Chains A and B, each alone.
Chain A
Amino acid sequence: MARIAGIDLPRRKRIEIALTYIYGIGLTSAKKILSIAGVNPDIKVNDLTDEDTDKLRKVIEADYKTEGTLKLLVKEDIKRLKEINCYRGIRHKKGLPVRGQRTRTNARSRKGPSKGSVALKKKADK
């Protein structure tokens, strides 16, 4: 079983794609890792030899931040922004979009599910 960075890779996928299942590795870095390790990107995870998995694991552990470590780093960055009270930090605190998107409409990923129509329904019930 191919287990890299604490994640089981999906067995039936090409290794190139399978690596992207690890948090912190996208297609570009997956391709880079494979070329550094010298592994054919078209092999299915099932057919990987143990040597190859070891090589991949080494490359990833040496050069890439993945999973828990990366998530922690991101959290720390956000915490720093919040502590120094800059514009971006305030937007994070308020749960509003950070990068200047409009908030008059949309912005639902940050604000959560819409509250508007529910309130209207309640009034109608009364």
Chain B
Amino acid sequence: MTRSLKKGPFIDERLEKRISQLNKSGEKKVVKTYSRATMISPDFVGHTIAVHNGKKFIPVYITENMVGHRLGEFSLTRIFRMHAGDRKEGKAKS
């Protein structure tokens, strides 16, 4: 189910304010945010936003291609370390 068009895209208000401030002053600062659900709007392009992944803030540099995606898509919440047996297998082959 897609979001109602009437509402427009979801953008965290505080984050939007911070970004528009930065845009006005022409500064480029890393903005920390927990709002992973925020849709990336065209205003964000060129900024670096530190998106929380549940543990730490992951800096994401916003490019034009990313518009329309959500911030959380770029800050992964899971890390995959190798399976226990995999390392041995790799050695045996080489």
Contacts and interface: CB of A to CB of B under 8 A. Distances in A.
Contacts of B69: 84, 86
Contact residues of B: prevailing secondary structure? helix
Contacts of B74: 84-87
A39 interface: no
Q: State the majority secondary structure of interface residues on A.
A: helix
A2 to B, nearest CB: 38
Contact of B65 (A84, A88, A90): A84
A15 B74 CA distance: 46
A11 interface: no
Contacts, number: 18
Interface of B: 63, 65-66, 69, 72-74, 76
A86 B69 CA distance: 8
Contacts of B76: 87, 90
A86 to B, nearest CB: 4
Nearest to A85: B74
Interface string A71-94: 000000000100111111010000
Contacts of B65: 80, 83-84
